[in-house]
Amino acid sequence: MISSLLIANRGEIACRIMRTCRALGIRTVAVYSDADVHAKHVREADEAVWIGASPAPESYLDIERIIEAARDSEVDAIHPGYGFLSENAGFADAVTKAGLIWVGPKSDTIDSMGLKDRAKAIAEDAGVPVLPGYRGEKQDAKTLGEEAKRIGFPLLIKAVAGGGGRGIRLVSKASELAGELESAVREAEAAFGDGRVMLEKLVEQPRHIEVQVFGDGHGNAVHLFERDCSLQRRRQKVIEEAPAPGMPADVRKAMCDASVKLAKAVGYEGAGTVEFIVDGAKPLALDTFWFLEMNTRLQVEHPVTEMVTGTDLVEWQLRVASGEKLPTKQKDIKLNGHAIEARICAEDPADGFRPGAGLIEEFGMLADTDADWIGWEAGFESGDRVPAVYDSMIAKLVVFGEDRDEANDRLIDTLAHLQLVGVPGNIGFLRRCAMADAFIEGVHHVNWIAEQGDTLTHAPDAHQHASVMAVCDVLLGESGDTPWTVRDGWRMNSAPVMKTAVAVGEDADWFDPADRAVTDDISMPLVSDLSERRFAVTTGGDSVLVEVPDFEAEAEALAGGDAVKAPMPGKVIAVNVAAGDTVEKGQTVAVMEAMKMEHSLTAPRDGVVEAVDAELGAQVPEGRVLVSLEEV
């Protein structure tokens, strides 16, 4: 059995693999780039090795550097996770040539399934149904035009070496073919270094259903049933579930049997996924599904399969890579209940799903997470910083129910109690998807989100209003120490006025809770106080930062200001001035460490340092005056 493992990945999948390793007593080694120095996966590993600069090609995609890190840390094996180098046959070869165990399928299997045209040819030979299309070597415009006419429009252009939704173009009519073909080839060359394309008949209302397969080095292969991954935006999965809704027993058997047949045809070892495109305009039947591709790695959505089959697929990977046989036979793998996974991303659905980066001020459950029906896979915590150079997914929420209705109800409720503040988040969007009739009824398809417009992507105005009102209630409910600080709205010779000023972003206003107009169908806002003047509020999964304007400080700032204050609780790690020093506006006078980051504090204006109240190494609260200025 493997005794030490380097994980050539980051984020939640690295943390997930470490969890199984801890249970098996396997030592773990993390790798990290400059952007991930303080990352959660680095903190949780037994050892961590720096592998380069923040851009992935200079770190997580640098095969030579990762192999060097494995040698330096004296591990037995390398697990690639998913993404990055996980389906790179050259990396698999490099690992084995270095005398290390590769936790994944053999490089020739990765090669054979990595090229879509070759994979479909192998699937056809194995008797697996494949969509009509063109997968030939001739790539000239005339040939592709003739083949497109034979297939019929609409159709899809797909990069032969593609993945992740890249190199795919929809062609609705013949006049669009030349332009879309040029665009697809250009993107394929940039993304994969291979501009070859294939043509495929378009299923206009597609569902995406995949089968988890597993093989060992002894000729055995099994399936662990199917997952439905049809809820997608821009060909990226959003919510996945197991089993697929509306799946008849005979179709399940045919799809799973075909997947095992393909796995055996390529001598598959380890975890793999056989993906099918399904005609969602019709009920599931034996003639409504076709082979799409095979992913030669662990999938992001593998936890839903683990929940409904009671397995640990990472443990299976490690055991099979160590030379063991599959731990379970097909007849002993049972399907139980229903599981749904939602991908938590630092992105703004209302702005075209624009990825976000920065400091996470608050992240996590505002309710009990100890229930056995909740799975929480996170690569970040409060106080971590989301880099701008990697994928936007930061966590996965997985829920289980005895049936699909119970699982979805639990998903909706749990998302309402999940808070993400400091970076854009998609939690409210996920909840609106799960609450939609089409999803509840299981009739959604790959294009469904795009068809909904702003309905799902934009948070209701009522959610922000309810969040603001919740903070007003907190502020007005505070008791004062004197008659002058009691917030009861008392006015001499006049009716009480219960108003308070709060701000969301740059928008500040006075609010009266009596005018709240919050409807009963809005989820109860959940308030977390970040500091005396800042509150994180979550309503229906949508989180906002509500602040109390500091008018006195703003006025002082307009005048230049005489004080340099701690912007948040933290540690003083540098003091650059002393009393009597002359400083210029913008000059760094002190440096603090807070939220695992360094913060330079600068002079608000030209002046002379009157006093310094910042002791090196001291912990200081938010608002502490560290340096005071006097006029020149």
Domain boundaries, the chain: 4-103, 132-201, 204-336, 342-458, 462-547, 554-630
65 counts as catalytic: no
**pLDDT of 177:** 95
Task: Provide mean pLDDT across the span 363-374.
Answer: 84
**pLDDT of 462:** 87
Q: What percent of the chain has pLDDT over 90?
A: 70
Element (H, E) at 191: helix 177-192
Q: How far is CA 269 from CA 103, 320, 332, 509, in A?
A: 9, 7, 19, 61
Express each pLDDT in 82-96 by its tens digit.
999 999 999 999 999
Q: Side-chain half-sphere of 567: how many Cα atoms within 13 Å?
A: 12
Q: Is the pLDDT of residue 524 over 90?
A: no
* Cβ–Cβ < 8 Å for 414, 367: yes
Q: Does residue 425 or residue 500 have the better pLDDT?
A: 425
* Cβ–Cβ < 8 Å for 466, 539: yes
Domains 4-103 and 132-201 share a fold: no
Closest CA to 548 of 534, 560, 561, 537: 534
Mean pLDDT of the chain: 90
Query: Which range scores top for mean pLDDT: 425-434, 496-505, 592-601, 623-632?
Result: 425-434
Q: Is the pLDDT of residue 235 over 70?
A: yes
**pLDDT of 408:** 98
The domain 554-630 is placed in CATH, from the list 2.70.70.10, 2.30.30.140, 2.40.50.100, 3.10.290.10, at 2.40.50.100
**pLDDT of 520:** 60
Express each pLDDT in 131-159 by its tens digit.
889 988 899 999 999 999 999 999 999 99
Neighbours of 99 (CB within 10 A): 9
Task: Provide mean pLDDT across the span 546-571.
Answer: 71
CATH of domain 204-336: 3.30.470.20
Kindly name the residue from 207, 297, 431, 432 that is annotated as catalytic. 297
Task: Provide mean pLDDT across the span 395-423.
Answer: 96
Hey, what's the torsion of the CAs at 361, 365, 368, 370, to 10 degrees? Answer: -100
CA atoms of 543 and 172, how far apart (whole Å): 39
**pLDDT of 596:** 56
* Cβ–Cβ < 8 Å for 420, 73: no
Q: What percent of the chain has pLDDT over 70?
A: 92
SS3 at position 286: coil
Confidence of residue 393 (pLDDT cuts 50, 70, 90): very high
Q: Is the pLDDT of residue 608 over 60?
A: yes
Q: What's this model's pTM, rounded to 2 decimal places?
A: 0.82
Express each pLDDT in 468-486 by its tens digit.
888 888 877 765 556 555 5
**pLDDT of 86:** 97
Q: Is the pLDDT of residue 557 over 70?
A: no
CATH superfamily of 132-201: ATP-grasp fold, A domain (3.30.1490.20)
Task: Indicate the fold that domain 4-103 takes in CATH.
Answer: Rossmann fold (3.40.50)
* Cβ–Cβ < 8 Å for 391, 12: no
In the chain, the amino acid numbered 549 is P
Task: Provide mean pLDDT across the span 320-340.
Answer: 97
Task: Provide mean pLDDT across the span 310-320.
Answer: 98
Please identify, in words, the CATH class of the domain defined by 342-458.
Answer: alpha beta
Q: Does residue 514 or residue 326 have the better pLDDT?
A: 326
Task: Provide mean pLDDT across the span 316-336.
Answer: 97
* Cβ–Cβ < 8 Å for 51, 14: no
CA atoms of 329 and 457, how far apart (whole Å): 44
CA atoms of 355 and 394, how far apart (whole Å): 11
